[in-house]
Every structure is written in C-alpha cells, then in structure tokens.
Amino acid sequence: MEIVLITGMSGSGKSVALHALEDYGFYCVDNLPPELLIPFAELERERNEERVALAIDVRSANSLPLMPSQLMKLKNMGFKTTSIFLDASSDTLLRRYSETRRRHPLSGRVASEGELALTESIEFERELLSRLREQAHVIDTSFLRAPQLQSYVKSLVNSYGAKMTLVFESFGFKRGIPIDADYVFDVRMLPNPHYENALRPLSGKDEPVQLFLEKYPDVKTMQGHIQSFLDHWLPALEKDHRNYITVAIGCTGGQHRSVYLVEKLSQYFSTKWLTLKRHRELDSK
C-alpha cells in the first residue's frame, strides 16, 4: 500500500494538496492523530486499500514528536511511504491569514506574556514541524496558485519509486529565493535577453532566446559547471538515501536565462535520473 503524508505550515495549502490526491484516486484523511497512524495503516491494508493520503499538522502538536518514529515503523512494515512538506514564507502566511481572517491553530496557546501573536505562532509552528520538514520533500507555495500546487503534488506522486528524483526550478531573484531549494545557482551575470526588444516578451523556452544565449561562451560554461557539480555529488546524495533534490536556477526576472538553463539541465540529467522541472515565474502567470 502506498501512503503519502501531507504536512506543513498552516495556510500553506495542505487542503489543496489533499484534494488533488483525492481526485487522483487516493483515499484521503485530514488531521489524523499521529498515534493512530500505525493502526490506521494496518486497517487500510486489511481492506486492500492501495493508495492512501494523510494530512497531519500542528493541530496534533502534542503528539507530533511521535511522527519520525512512526514513519520509520511504516517503512519497516513494508509500506511505501513518501512525505511532502508544504512551506511558505512568513510574510506570505501572514498575508493569507489576514485575507481569510482565520485564526492560527496555535493562537490559543498561552505564552508567558499572554496569547501568542500571529507572527510568534508561525515561528513556533516552524519549530514544532522542523523534524518533519527535514524528512520530507519541501514545496514552497509562496507564489503558487492552487492548480500549480495540485500539478506539483501529482508529479511528485508519479515519480515515487525512483531511487532519487531531481527537481529543477527556475525563479526570479526579484521575488526571492525558493525556500524549498537544496541548491541555488545565480546566473544573473550572464547576457540578458530582456534588453533585446524582440526577445523581451519571450521566455527561455523559445528558440530565438535560446539562439541568443547560445552565442555566448559564458552560458555554456555556466551550464557545464553546474552539470559537473551535480554529476560529482548526486551519487553521494543517493547513497545518503535522499529521495528528492531541488536545484533552483535564478536570474533577475525568472523568464529567460534561468528558464533556458533549467530546460537544458533537465534534458541532460533526464538520461541519468528521474527529472522534474518547474518554472516558478512562468507557471504563476
């Protein structure tokens, strides 16, 4: 039986992810107490359920410390498990709570000086969930629309079973570095197609932009350096039992140079590893 665990920060999109998996044929349960994880998995296996998705979050704060050992038990019992952690910047979470006027699940906890403020609640939640985050594949939802998140979650589930999955992600520095990145490469020093009027509305996926960039040796050199670095270290990461590695490539706007290199790198590594690609700024349009 395949078990997908959805966890993460409150307001990061766990309900959206769970609904995506439900539409995908998973039997889904929201807010399962961690102490019931093993009995629930055994029950569903007896019922011949093949695909189960669970959402567990800080609403079960008192029993969250059980989760790492519970997940290890599931793996030892022969269950296929994958963990997805949804995260977002604190500013994004603050804005979402302000827009929806929802209370944070930790807002009722009492601190020494009184009820926790929203900012303190978010930081306290990060601390409580830190161990779960370390053991999961992280998706930064700060700039994702619901359809994007649904697509990302489904692509990760489809990749399950591979020894290790590479995720290449382009982004624009003007909107911040993705918090789900394991490695970040800055390519802003490369020639910028933005300053060519005919190329400005295009992206790194378009042939005229690609031909422009391929005229410059530095672009090929940068691509080669990134490839060499990953070629050297990916086998070691696989031996360390890493399931997902996210490599973020950033330029100023996330439209031309970073997109081009993500396309080229994902093509190169797809012959060696299961490879996914994302274009944060293009996908959000």
> Which long-range CB contacts under 8 A does 240-245 form with residues at least 24 apart?
242/164, 243/82, 243/137, 243/164, 243/165, 244/137, 244/156, 244/164, 244/165, 244/166, 244/167, 245/164, 245/165, 245/166, 245/167, 245/182, 245/183
Which pTM value belongs to this model? 0.81
Report domain extents, the chain. 2-158, 165-283
Is pLDDT above 70 for 110? no
Q: pLDDT grade, residue 112 (50/70/90)?
A: very low
Min mean pLDDT across 110-119, 128-137, 200-209 is at 110-119
Token couple for 189: 């020093």
- Among 251, 234, 252, residue whose Cα is nearest residue 243: 234
Retrieve residue 156's tokens. 């990760």
pLDDT of residue 161: 57
pLDDT band of 64, cuts 50, 70, 90: confident
pLDDT per residue over 155-172, tens digit each?
A: 888 765 557 889 999 999
Can you give the pLDDT at residue 109?
A: 62
| Domain at 2-158, CATH homologous superfamily | P-loop containing nucleotide triphosphate hydrolases (3.40.50.300)
Lowest mean pLDDT among 61-65, 106-110, 235-239: 106-110
Compute the mean pLDDT over every residue in the chain, rounded to the nearest whole number. Answer: 90
Instruction: Report which of 239, 152, 223, 140 is spatially closest to residue 180, judged by C-alpha positions.
Output: 140
- Each residue's pLDDT tens digit, 183-232: 999 999 999 999 999 999 999 999 999 999 999 999 999 999 999 999 99
CA–CA distance, 249 with 183 (Å, rounded to integer): 8
Q: Which of 166, 170, 143 is nearest to 249 (CA)?
A: 170
- Model confidence pLDDT, tens digit, residues 242-277: 888 999 999 999 999 999 999 999 999 999 898 999
Read off the pLDDT band of 5 (50, 70, 90).
very high
| pLDDT for residue 4 | 94
Judge whether residue 53 has pLDDT over 90: yes
In this prediction, residues 97-116 reach a mean pLDDT of 70
Helix axes 67-76, 118-134, angle to 10 degrees: 30
Chain length of the chain: 285
1 band by pLDDT with thresholds 50, 70 and 90? confident
